[in-house]
Amino acid sequence: MDELVSLCKRRGFIFQSNEIYGGLQGSYDYGPLGVELKNNLKASWWSCMVYERDDIEGLDSSILTHPNVLKFSGHEDTFTDPLIDCKSCKSRWTADEIIDNKCPKCGSKSLTEPRPFNLMFKTSLGPIEDLENYAYLRPETAQNIFTNFKNILDTTSHELPFGIAQIGKAFRNEITPRNFIFRVREFEQMELEFFVNPGDDEEWHKKWVDMRLSWWEKQGLNNNLKTLEVPKDELSHYSKATTDIMYKFPHGEEELEGIANRTDFDLGSHTKNQAELNIDSEVLENNASSAKLAIKSSVSNKWIVPYVIEPSAGVDRGVLAILTEAYTNEQIDNKTSRIVLKLSKHLAPIKVAIIPLKKNNSDIVEKSKEIKMSLQSSNFGRVILENTGNIGKSYRKHDEIGTPICITIDFDTLEKNTVTLRDRDTMKQEKVNVDDLELRLRDIFK
């Protein structure tokens, strides 16, 4: 983990947030390379979930959430961690961190009884801070998928099964954020709520576990993934069954994604409470069903509150897993080694680095710029000009940040119209004519 954290800082993937003021615990900033990697991961998820299917729609809902939503979702009452204080050294722990009734820091057995601590962040709305005008920062992106169920159903033409996908920030006031970006207070989730006919839920649950495993494998996590059935007594309040996808992080095997069978818990609860609160009394009186978070079956003509299968993945945990898997310290020969990030090509922050042989040769530099602009407009992703004048150093840098291809522009480029391509993983070099370059790269990045 230390090597990874150091690489992330040194090369500009991830920084401690608010570092110049001592840092804000449990928050991180993604630097120039981190934001590209994160965007590539999210784009791959979105493409797989939304673009490659016809039964899933996208959503981008607000982070500020009405208290009633999180009241009736059960979060106000149950979204808690048991908190224990050490009376001797004043450190604070979650119950699962206490082993043998002793403080992990000072070994004292003088501990408080566990008490529930709600993990949601509250904020006030408008200029007057009072107990009435508040909202929560959402602790999961899921809830506003449920509250928009009817809006989306009314504006599309789906029947069951169908899903709603969302990527966005979530906030949890974790008692002990730790392990770099693994457990933080501000993070991103990629969540799908997939609505199915009650009775079909268990079959769809299995299908989604398989589909999600195979997607993570495609992100390069081939060897260190496992599934784990969450024991009944550890299930979230809404879940009938949850399968976690576990990854072997540097600090141990932990949850990367959870796939829950949320039954009709959320849609059912919001429907019931919305009706009881009489929020939409007119609509309810005229056409009771139209206010429900339900769908009318075209077969039975009855209103159904669907069951929900929810694959919920953490973007930050995904980034950590991908960096862990890709980080390789490779021995080249007896004397030399190199650090190389063997990222899948579609995730690499920079796809191609163009390296002029001579920093001060204006013909070579101009030609390099021309090739950079031409490749950049071909939509491979980010192409950069690396004008350090030191090819060895540039190769080392791009190995470390996972750039799949480096292209050297030299005197042959000016005289014979050829460039040298160097492959990150094999370090093999090949000459390619500039006229064939785009086609060759298309083949490499396909």
The contact set with ligand GAP (CB under 6 A) reads 140, 142, 172, 174, 183-184, 187, 189, 191, 255-258, 310, 312-314, 316-317
CA dist., res. 262 & res. 394, Å (int): 50
* Residue with Cβ nearer ligand GAP (187 or 395): 187
CA angle 337, 338, 342 (to 5 degrees): 135
CA dist., res. 108 & res. 101, Å (int): 8
> Shortest gap between Cβ of 191 and ligand GAP (angstroms)?
6
CB atoms within 10 A of CB 314: 23
Residue nearest to ligand GAP (CB): 314
> Shortest gap between Cβ of 293 and ligand GAP (angstroms)?
17
* Residue with Cβ nearer ligand GAP (258 or 402): 258
C-alpha distances out from residue 381 to 348, 376, 378, 387, Å: 9, 7, 8, 19
Closest CA to 160 of 38, 21, 300: 300
* Residue with Cβ nearer ligand GAP (181 or 383): 181
* Residue with Cβ nearer ligand GAP (171 or 380): 171
> Shortest gap between Cβ of 263 and ligand GAP (angstroms)?
14
Q: Are strands 405-409 and 418-423 parallel, antiparallel or unpaired?
A: antiparallel
> Shortest gap between Cβ of 416 and ligand GAP (angstroms)?
51
* Residue with Cβ nearer ligand GAP (238 or 380): 238
* Residue with Cβ nearer ligand GAP (175 or 343): 175
DSSP code for 57: E
> Shortest gap between Cβ of 243 and ligand GAP (angstroms)?
11
CA dist., res. 269 & res. 340, Å (int): 50
> Shortest gap between Cβ of 306 and ligand GAP (angstroms)?
16
* Residue with Cβ nearer ligand GAP (144 or 368): 144
CB atoms within 10 A of CB 75: 24
Distance of CA 303 to the CA centre of its chain: 35
If you write DSSP's letter for every residue of 281-306 in order, what string do you get? HHHHHH-GGGGSS-EE-TTT--EE--
Radius of gyration of the chain (CA): 26
> Shortest gap between Cβ of 172 and ligand GAP (angstroms)?
5
CA angle 87, 91, 97 (to 5 degrees): 105
* Residue with Cβ nearer ligand GAP (79 or 327): 79
C-alpha distances out from residue 106 to 84, 101, 103, 110, 379, Å: 14, 12, 6, 10, 56
> Shortest gap between Cβ of 216 and ligand GAP (angstroms)?
11
